Every structure is written in C-alpha cells, then in structure tokens.
Homo-oligomer: A and B are copies of this chain.
Amino acid sequence: MAERIKVTVWDEGIHEKTDQEMRRVYPEGISAVIAGFLNEQEDIQVRIATLDMPEHGLTEDMLSETDVLTWWAHAAHDKVDEVIVDRVQQSVLNGMGLIVLHSGHFSKIFRHLMGTDCSLKWRETGEKERLWLVNPGHPIARGLGEYFELPHTEMYGEFFDVPPPDEVVFISWFAGGDVFRSGCCWQRGLGRVFYFRPGHETFSVYHDANVQKVITNAVRWARKAQQKYDRSCQVRQPLEQLGS
C-alpha cells in the first residue's frame, strides 16, 4: 500500500497556445493545474504527456509505468492517432485507470471504451451548476457535503448516450433547466473508468477545491488493482485431465 500512485496527466495542449482567454485562466495549460494539485498528495506522483510529443507522449514504456491516466481534450480529438488510441484502450483493459474530463466525452478513447456515441446537449452561458451526491458512501465522494456548486459553467445535458454506468456518484442541476449524470464509473476489462463532467477551457473550474478533491479521490479509486492477470483467449484442459 506504500507505493505511490503513478499518474499521467494527458492534455491536448492546443487552446492555451492560441486562445487569449484560456491563457488568462490556465497560463500554463490545464495539465499544469491538474498535475499541480495531484502532486501535492503524498501518495501520488505525476507526469504530463501532450499531443505534440512523439506518440503523443503515450509510449509503451510510459503506459506500463502508469497506474491512472487523466484525459483532457477538446479541440483535436481527430488528431489522436488510432494506434495510440488502441494502445491506451489495451492498457485500460489490462488494469490502468482512466479519468475522462469534460469535453473528453467525445475523445476516441472514451467512445471506443463505451461503444456508444457519447453525445449530449450543451450550452455556454456560464450558468450555475450544483452537483448533488447520489452515492455519498462512494470513495470518490469522500470528504464532500451533500452537494457542491460551481458558479459559472458550460452546461451538459441529458440524454448522455453512454452505457448505463456501473455507479453514478454525482448528478448535476443547471440553472437553465437541465440535469446531467456528472460522475460516472464503469469497469472495462481489468481497468476502471471515471467520467467527470465539470471543466472548461475558460471557466475556472479546475481551480475549484471540490473539483480537485473529486479528481484526487478518483485517482485513488481508479488505481490499478491487479498487478498481473492472464486474460488471453485460450484453450483450457478439462478438470479430469488435470488429475482431479
């Protein structure tokens, strides 16, 4: 239990280079903020990987050294190489945790793991969002009250076209009349996937203390559980031939 959780924070890293407003909120990009608050935890160590690195920073070595991968992307889903997507998917099936943030709902990796189109409704009016805990005993809800609020967010609304989650931790209320399953858990192969709705490239969501708490809790929850398990497709000998 003493070993630290190895987290890779992935970020497409596009907007902050071109978008004035994003640079104001996230001068070094969203990955810098996420890596920052995670690194403050004694049991977590973080590396950053971005789209423009060779193999998007997601080499075989990098992934084999990753317990949990967080995924922020927005403007360049189609620029992620299919080979890398397949590699990340395989890593999840082999036990790596994956935390998909906000607009990452439309990333190739999330859509491949879900098997659905992951569509939703949206609105950018900076309205108030309240995230209600609907599973307050869940490890990802640790340390939170009955709800928490974000004063200005982009709205995401139902129907969110994902498979029925194994567990729903948060449901959002939006001032404009919508609801959303904002914290959803799925098992895929040996790996755990968590989708967390809040986030935006200009609303200052990742600086929020409750949002940081949720992502930190999710990292601990999604940590790889099995070190080794042979799950290959294989011919089995019957029990009798095994001498029993």
Contact = CB atoms under 8 A, between A and B. Distances in A.
Interface residues of A, number: 79
A238 B186 CA distance: 30
A130 B236 CA distance: 15
A209 interface: no
A33 interface: no
A187 B164 contact: yes
A175 interface: yes
Interface string A123-149: 101011010111111110111011001
Given A166-B167, A178-B236, A225-B139, A134 B121 contact: no
Interface string A148-180: 010000010111110110111001111111110
A199 interface: no
A161 B231 contact: yes
A226 interface: yes
A115 interface: yes
A71 to B, nearest CB: 15
B189 A171 contact: no
A168 B149 CA distance: 24
Give the interface centre of A116, A138, A233 by most chain B CB atoms within 10 Å: A116
A123 B157 CA distance: 24
A127 B240 CA distance: 12
Given A1-B43, A119-B233, A159-B133, A141 B226 contact: yes
Contacts of A176: 236-240
Given A132-B158, A159-B146, A189-B137, A238 B116 contact: no
Interface of A: 1, 43, 89, 93, 95, 112-117, 119-123, 125, 127-128, 130, 132-139, 141-143, 145-146, 149, 155, 157-161, 163-164, 166-168, 171-179, 181, 186-192, 225-227, 229-240, 242, 244
